[in-house]
Amino acid sequence: MMTRDLLEKVGLKPLSQFTDRAVEGVFISDMVSDVMAGAKSGNLWLTVQTHKSIVPAANLVDVAAIVITSGKQVPQETVDLASKYDIAILSTGLATFDLVSKLQACGLGGN
């Protein structure tokens, strides 16, 4: 599945500008250090964190996209940095648990 497919299938909203990428699993954590240690290239990273430090962590691991859950507002400086480095930031008003249920229905699971 591609990141752009998720916009329609799951109802995600794109915040940054990015190149469409293949999604290969899901990683959930609100700790940047967990992502750097455990996420895999191509994962969707689900989090409520919105500070700009999420962008370099996503870039380091090469995640397919960062998905901000629970309707959290993302600062413009975070969105701008993500766009600069071609990192997809997507958002949803769904709680993380509810989003995971939808992702599983689309055939995506944990890494």
pLDDT tens track for 34-43: 999 999 999 9
- Predicted confidence (pLDDT) at residue 109 exceeds the cutoff of 80: no
The fraction of the chain above a pLDDT of 90, given in percent, is 94
Q: Is 59 left (phi over 0), alpha (psi -120 to 50) or beta?
A: alpha
pLDDT score recorded for residue 89 = 98
* Fold category of 3-105 in CATH: 3.40.1390
pLDDT score recorded for residue 110 = 63
Q: Find out whether 70 and 93 touch, Cβ atoms under 8 Å.
A: yes
Q: Which residues pair with 110 in a beta bridge?
A: 26
pLDDT tens track for 3-12: 999 999 999 9
- Predicted confidence (pLDDT) at residue 28 exceeds the cutoff of 90: yes
Residue from 12, 7, 8 nearest 68 by CA: 12
The structure's pTM equals: 0.95
| Residue ranges covered by each domain of the chain | 3-105
Per DSSP, the residues of 11-57 read --EE-S-----B---EEE-S-HHHHHHH--TT-EEEES--STTHHHH
Query: What's the mean pLDDT in 53-80?
Result: 98
